[in-house]
Amino acid sequence: MTGFIYHQAYLQHNPGWGHPESPDRLKAIKQAYDNLNRRDKTILHTPRPATEDEITAVHTGEYFREMGAVCLTGGYHRGMESELDSASWDAALFAAGGGIEASEKVLSGEWSNAFCALRPPGHHATPNLAMGFCLFNNIAAAAAQLLKKGAGKVLIVDWDVHHGNGTQEIFYSSDEVFYYSTHQRSLYPYGSGDENQTGAGKGEGFTLNRPIEPGAPADEYLRLFHQDLNTIEGRFQPEIALISCGFDVCKGDTLGRLNLSGVHLAEMTQAVSRLAGGKIVSFLEGGYNLNSIVDGFIGHFQALIDLS
């Protein structure tokens, strides 16, 4: 079965009027899910919130308390570029919790694979900074729990059009988590995600960055993606793969200038699944054009169902 993580709390975080990271993105995905004629092959799951211990496995305790206070007071947060209030805090806890629950269910074999339709997104959040619409680093929190549950090696594939600077920073010195990112060159967060950022200490060689030129055709992108997965396969045999799934990599996005569509994401999903022995958990990150999001989601999610 393919899991689908969703919570009403995800819709309650409102980053501001006219903000690109709007709840409408998630409403569009949920509607596409509800309209799927193969929904009987999936399980809709309402998750629990993450605990403080689970969050502080990848963020500092000071950051956890600070952001809690900021959300309680309410107001605009400059780093996150979003309005925050107590509903944002709840959404962020349920988002991290959803990713952790899905990852545990896939690791144990209860589910074959899963998609987490959550917000706020996570991959820009560093141990002590909220950045780029991200409060908690959902995918990093899930990877940390997987390691605690006995997964020896976790692969993170980040195909959001932006570089996942937060995830890279959290696991930069780890040889248990391999971080691979494809992203558009010279896009936010500027200066992060160059090819020469490859890990440090025992994590040297366990970070792989692939900046792609703006406007690159889809077949060129796919050629590089498959080439990089082959490289990773020679160095790292993951028990499970987590995907930072940004639909802003799709053609028509308002922030990105790459040219993928649902059919390409389906091919990439199959390739990642092969590398990870079928165990995949996908996390919603960016994506700002509703039509591109729905097209990307359907291609990606149908591939997960086919693989389950």
Nearest to 112 by CA among 29, 42, 211: 42
- Nearer to Zn ion by Cβ, of 153 and 162: the residue is 162
Q: List the structure tokens of 200.
A: 């440090």
Helix (H) or strand (E) holding 115: strand 113-116
Tell whether residue 193 is a contact of Zn ion (CB under 5 A).
Answer: no
- Nearer to Zn ion by Cβ, of 286 and 296: the residue is 286
Is there a contact between 106 and 247 (Cβ–Cβ < 8 Å)? no
Tell whether residue 160 is a contact of Zn ion (CB under 5 A).
Answer: yes
Strands 154-158 vs 75-77: parallel, antiparallel or unpaired? unpaired
Tell whether residue 21 is a contact of Zn ion (CB under 5 A).
Answer: no
Tell whether residue 162 is a contact of Zn ion (CB under 5 A).
Answer: yes
DSSP β-bridge partners for residue 157: 180, 243
Q: How far is the CB of 37 from Zn ion (least distance, A)?
A: 30
Tell whether residue 49 is a contact of Zn ion (CB under 5 A).
Answer: no
Q: How far is the CB of 202 from Zn ion (least distance, A)?
A: 29
Say how far apart CA 82 and CA 110 lie, in whole Å: 36
Tell whether residue 286 is a contact of Zn ion (CB under 5 A).
Answer: yes
Strands 75-77 vs 82-84: parallel, antiparallel or unpaired? antiparallel
Among residues 7, 13, 123, 124, the one annotated as catalytic is 124
Tell whether residue 248 is a contact of Zn ion (CB under 5 A).
Answer: yes
Tell whether residue 122 is a contact of Zn ion (CB under 5 A).
Answer: no
Say how far apart CA 135 and CA 129 lie, in whole Å: 8
CA distances, 171 to each of 126, 153, 159, 190 (Å): 10, 12, 17, 19
45 catalytically annotated = no
- Nearer to Zn ion by Cβ, of 105 and 210: the residue is 210
Q: How far is the CB of 144 from Zn ion (least distance, A)?
A: 22
- Nearer to Zn ion by Cβ, of 105 and 119: the residue is 119
Please give the positions annotated as active site: 124
Binding positions for Zn ion, rule: CB under 5 A: 160, 162, 246, 248, 286
